[in-house]
Amino acid sequence: MKIRLKPLHLFSRLPLPNSAIQPLKAALVFTAMSLLLAVFYYTRSQPQLPIFYSLPRQSQQLAMKENIFLFPVLSAAILVSHLLVLRFIRHYHQILLRLFSLMTAIIIFLLSFALGRIIFITW
């Protein structure tokens, strides 16, 4: 007896053009990678991390290591909220949908890059 698993079509309920779905898939991958990276680094990091390394005072730069999850949680919140917005504006022009989903992917990439930079600084 064979068991057939159906592929998971996460974006199949969004009636969007393919050009708007591709950046959203990339944003989902970046969100998942940043979550995995944060979990991996959390187990090996020091008790305080320079999350706010751009602040002038050194005492304000350090934060507890639990704050490393700020970036993946923020990425996931942005992705979910933008998916909800895209669901409501799906009847607009294709270029607007594509630009909105592309900006979502860029924002999430920048958050993942900031997480990678913090990890690189403290490694």
The domains of the chain are located at 18-122
For 32, counting Cβ atoms within 10 Å of its Cβ (0-12 exposed, 13-18 middle, 19+ buried), the class is middle
DSSP helix/strand/coil, 75: helix
pLDDT at residue 55, rounded to an integer: 63
pLDDT classification of 1: cutoffs 50, 70, 90: low
Q: Comparing C-alpha atoms, which of 79, 84, 83 is closest to residue 107?
A: 79
Whose tokens are 């924002």? That residue is 107
pLDDT at residue 17, rounded to an integer: 78
pLDDT at residue 34, rounded to an integer: 96
The tens digit of pLDDT for each residue in 66-123 reads 888 999 999 999 999 998 898 888 788 888 889 999 999 999 999 999 999 888 888 7
**Residue 51 near residue 38, CB atoms below 8 Å:** no
The tens digit of pLDDT for each residue in 37-53 reads 999 988 887 777 777 66
